[in-house]
Amino acid sequence: MKKGIIIVLAALLTGSAAFAQEEKPAHFKLYGFIRNYVITDTREVNAGTNDLFLYMPKDKNMQGDVDLNAGFNWRYLSLTTRLGLDVSGYKFGTMNLSGKVEADFYSLSGTTSAAIIPQLRLRQAFVKLTWDDNPLALTLGQAWHPMGVDLPHITNLESGAPFNPFNRSPQVTLDVTAGKFTFTASVLYLNHFLPTGPNGKSAEYYKYGLPEFYVGAAFKTDGFLAKLGLDMVNMKPYRTVVDGGETVKANGLLSTFSPFLFLQFTSGKFQLRAKTILAQAGEHMNLLSGYGVASYDPATHTYTYAPMQDWASFISFQYGKKTQLMCTFGYFKQLGTTKDIMLTTNATTGAMEYALWMNTAADTKIQQAFRATPTVAWNIGKFTVSLEYDLTAAQFGRGARNIRGMYDGTPEWILNHRFICMTKFTF
């Protein structure tokens, strides 16, 4: 009896030892940087994060012969100084886990202390699972949107937005690698970067709709990378509607489809990147887009929607290591809604207008825009100094909106010249 107990205990101890050997501890790496920006503009701009995150110059504000939005202005800020923690090396059996927690100091635009004083905010927080001898990789948590992860060569804060999709979202992303190809499928929920709608910017439109879906493929070989993908959104701008003094459930989803293509070529110290996207209602990716109401059926309380179509593209290059020369060119153009939008009564003015909601981060009258951003950066070990010039030209619509959300009047171009000096110590 005693001998049997000893054998069982020995077996359990042996099994426990083998089980313990299957688990390997994780490794931790703290990283981050201290970053400072000095920025000047030649006119007032539509921008976030205390005017660091530039969208577009503001339209004219004429008082007699004087444009109140014209004139030199500047700011010096240490915002977006970043802290992060990378976790790697943890293994349980054949499963490998890594992860990231990343935050930076961020503030909203405004003049009050609450808007100006930076607050620590979460940027990324995700875990990645892989398995030995298995082509699957699973990412769970808040990370870069698959369409926004490849950024242009630039040192300013907005990283090319609104000419480049800019979004980080909670997601479940599956990557499958087969030779030189990687196939990606994602389910996402919008959190930091929100769509606009009847009640302003809100996550409620997605909360009562369907998840955002992304599917894509990438091909990578020596010095060359190509990505092709499609982003699909189904949201519910109207959840309820008032009918005869009674609040009833509204029906109908806004469905959008946004394909994109990204190309990258690398040779020695030289790298070239290009991206183009045909977006529908891409305001959740910081594009200057939106959508409108195409029709409403009072019998079934059903809305149909018409997304605004936009073409946004950039091409950029970088050369050098210690001394880097960079330049980015971006172009954006509104193409109008996919269907005619309906007239509705403005609740404030009582005037008839087309039911259209556009990205409120910038002026909603912008029809097309261009940006050129040459940059020179000096890397002295872990210390970087960069000088950047940003020319942004925006074409503002004039007259009244038409049935496709465009303007019938003669458009007008307005320019802003931005000069940026950035210092960054990376640790």
Q: What is the pLDDT of residue 184?
A: 98
Q: What is the pLDDT of residue 115?
A: 67
The CATH class of the 30-426 domain is mainly beta
**Burial profile 320-332: b = 16 or more Cβ within 10 angstroms, e = fewer:** eeeebebbbbbeb
Express each pLDDT in 204-242 by its tens digit.
Answer: 888 888 899 999 999 999 999 999 999 999 999 999 998
Q: What is the pLDDT of residue 251?
A: 95
- What's 251's DSSP letter? B
**This prediction's pTM:** 0.90
Closest C-alpha among 377, 388, 412 to residue 398:
412
Every domain of the chain and the residues it spans: 30-426
Q: Encoding tokens for residue 35?
A: 């970053």
Name 295's bridge partners. 304
Q: What is the DSSP string of 353-414?
A: EE-EEE-TTS-TTEEEEEEEEEEEEEEETTEEEEEEEEEEEEEEP-S-B-TTS-B-S--EEE
Q: Encoding tokens for residue 139?
A: 């990412």
Q: What is the pLDDT of residue 176?
A: 98
Please check whether residue 186 is in contact with residue 213, taking contact to mean a CB–CB distance below 8 angstroms.
Answer: yes
Please check whether residue 306 is in contact with residue 339, taking contact to mean a CB–CB distance below 8 angstroms.
Answer: yes
Contacts of 280 (CB under 8 A, 6+ apart): 233, 256, 257, 258, 289, 291, 307, 308, 309, 310, 338
Total residues belonging to the chain: 427
Going from the C-alpha of 301 to that of each of 250, 298, 416, the distances in angstroms are: 5, 5, 45
- What's 59's DSSP letter? P
Q: What is the pLDDT of residue 346?
A: 67
Q: Encoding tokens for residue 380?
A: 């002295």
Residue 157 backbone phi and psi in degrees, to 5: -65, -35
Q: How far apart are CA 351 and CA 343, in angstroms?
A: 10
Residues of the chain with pLDDT under 50: 1-2, 4-21
Please check whether residue 105 is in contact with residue 118, taking contact to mean a CB–CB distance below 8 angstroms.
Answer: yes
Q: What is the pLDDT of residue 16?
A: 42
Contacts of 374 (CB under 8 A, 6+ apart): 326, 327, 388, 389
Please check whether residue 127 is in contact with residue 140, taking contact to mean a CB–CB distance below 8 angstroms.
Answer: yes
Q: How far apart are CA 134 and CA 183, in angstroms?
A: 14
